[in-house]
Structure 1
Amino acid sequence: MTTLVPLPPSPGSGAAQNLITLQGVTKRYHVGQPSESEVLHGLDLQVQRGEFIALIGPSGSGKSTLLNILGLLEPLTSGSYQLAGEAVQGLSDAQLTLRRRRLLGFVFQFHHLLPAFSALENVTLPALMAEGHISAREEERARSLLDAVGLGHALHKRPNELSGGMQQRVAIARALIMEPPLVLADEPTGNLDTASSSEVFALLRRIHAERGTTFIVVTHDPRLAARCDRQVELVDGRIASDGNPPQEA
């Protein structure tokens, strides 16, 4: 059984407040001149610090597009987006990059670990990219995070020496290295077997409970969605429902 230790404390906790505020957000893509395709239609959404949200809906409903906008990976077409109280429209690419590094962690369906890097090196990669070097404090933090996710024994193993579930644990530690208040997870268990999926999701919930990190998790698995505190359902680019998941009888 995997041994987990307490996670390092997060400096970003505080009183409940909106971390995300979307008003009238639309997203259109040019699919040929002069045709356009509108993927998101006037979304209004508020997310408070410390929430654990499942973003659900059928394929093609706009979940990944919304996650990309929330993650400052692509711009909205119209409307407004405030992240941590700041409007992101009009920010330069360099300014958006700084905010991604400071405020956001990402966990994807495919872990995107660098095959030539060890687990420890993969976790420290965001700090290396941000600062050009790894400080002793950041290396110690990476070791602590890997220990916390049950991989303290595998610091120097490369991805091909780890199971799928272990690789995703490395990806989760990497998402936390810069101490972000918000983690966006796009089908983080989609490539895992049932047992590994349950373990990884339980780890996300533990991080949320111990650190107060805000999570928005895209999932097609209704069992995992039911374990979230709030479900936001997208259908055809619109919010069809937003509330607490139904309780099992």
Structure 2
Amino acid sequence: MSNGADLLIELDNVRKSYNVGQPNETEVLHGLDLNVRRGDFMALIGPSGSGKSTLLNIIGLLERMSAGRYVLQGEEVQALDDGGLTLRRRSTLGFVFQFHHLLPAFSAVENVTLPVLMAEGRISSKHEQHARELLAAVGLSRAMDKRPSELSGGMQQRVAIARALVMNPALVLADEPTGNLDTASSDEVFALLRSIHAERGTSFIVVTHDPRLAARCDRIVELVDGRIARDEVVPHG
């Protein structure tokens, strides 16, 4: 059993139903137990409809679970109101999606600072410098002031990764972060995630359909029909 101080997330008997009380009520997560430790680099895999996105949304405080217990950095979050959930999400979690969701009228550095603007209402020179340092760290030193339309798909996803890191989250949730990229760009982006993990100790949960990428994670959790079918450590020779 892990030391409690090492646990970032504890999920106990988590259930999620949609259309509750209606004739078409459907339970999509059936009593999941899952711990995420500090420093985990986890792949979340499973067939379409297995509940991966729902689970990621619950962990990301974007959806509420129907039943169960969720402890995030020692705090039970199920009792928090919407404002409390928003504050916890901003302070603890970063998000990378399959589609980068960059604002086309904003430069790369302006896109990276957006979470700060939303949280604090202004961008200080310190924040902008931090954003530029992150863009340099993801290999975009020469593209900081370019707009998304001037960047390749892989470069746009690198901007999205820098944006996910700007608030120094303990955990980054990446939902098919390479799903919209060609193989070469996909490998580059995944290698970048691994290097961030190694250098910063940031925890990652990566949803992927690519078994090649899953095999390069440290842990694989497989969902099937709303239940965890496998949770194993990946040996790296």
TM-score category by the smaller chain? Answer: over 0.9
Structure 1 length normalisation: TM-score?
0.92
Q: Which residue of 2 aligns with 1:214?
A: 203
Query: Could you say if the C-alpha distance between residues 196 and 204 of structure 1 is closer, same or farther in structure 2, counting changes exceeding 3 Å?
Result: same
Q: 1:40-63, CA deviations, whole angstroms, 9 ceiling, x for partnerless residues?
A: 000000111000000000010000
Q: How many residues align?
A: 234
Is 1:76 the counterpart of 2:26 in the alignment? no
Q: Which residue of 1 aligns with 2:11?
A: 22
Q: Which residue of 2 aligns with 1:160?
A: 149
Of the candidates 175, 186, 194, which is equivalent to residue 183 of structure 2? 194
Rounded Cα–Cα distance in structure 1 between residues aligned with 2:44 and 2:197: 16
Q: 1:138-171, CA deviations, whole angstroms, 9 ceiling, x for partnerless residues?
A: 1000000000111011111000000000000000
Q: 1:45-102, CA deviations, whole angstroms, 9 ceiling, x for partnerless residues?
A: 0111000000000010000000000000000000100011101112111111100110
Structure 1 residue runs without a partner (length 5+): 1-14
Asked if the contact 2:102–2:148 (Cα under 8 Å) also holds between the matched residues in 1, the reply is yes
Asked if the contact 1:16–1:50 (Cα under 8 Å) also holds between the matched residues in 2, the reply is no
2:127 aligns to what SS in structure 1? helix
Q: Which residue of 2 aligns with 1:4?
A: none
Of the candidates 173, 182, 201, which is equivalent to residue 171 of structure 2? 182
- State how 1:73-222 maps to structure 2 within 5 Å: 73-222=62-211
How far the C-alpha of 1:126 sits from its partner, in A, is: 0.4
Query: Could you say if the C-alpha distance between residues 166 and 140 of structure 1 is closer, same or farther in structure 2, counting changes exceeding 3 Å?
Result: same
Rounded Cα–Cα distance in structure 2 between residues aligned with 1:222 and 1:31: 35
% same residue? 75
Structure 2 length normalisation: TM-score?
0.96
Asked if the contact 1:115–1:159 (Cα under 8 Å) also holds between the matched residues in 2, the reply is yes
How far the C-alpha of 1:244 sits from its partner, in A, is: 1.7
Q: Which residue of 1 aligns with 2:55?
A: 66
1:76 aligns to what SS in structure 2? coil
Question: Which runs of 4 or more aligned residues in structure 1 lie more than 2 Å from their structure 2 counterparts after TM superposition?
Answer: 31-35, 245-248
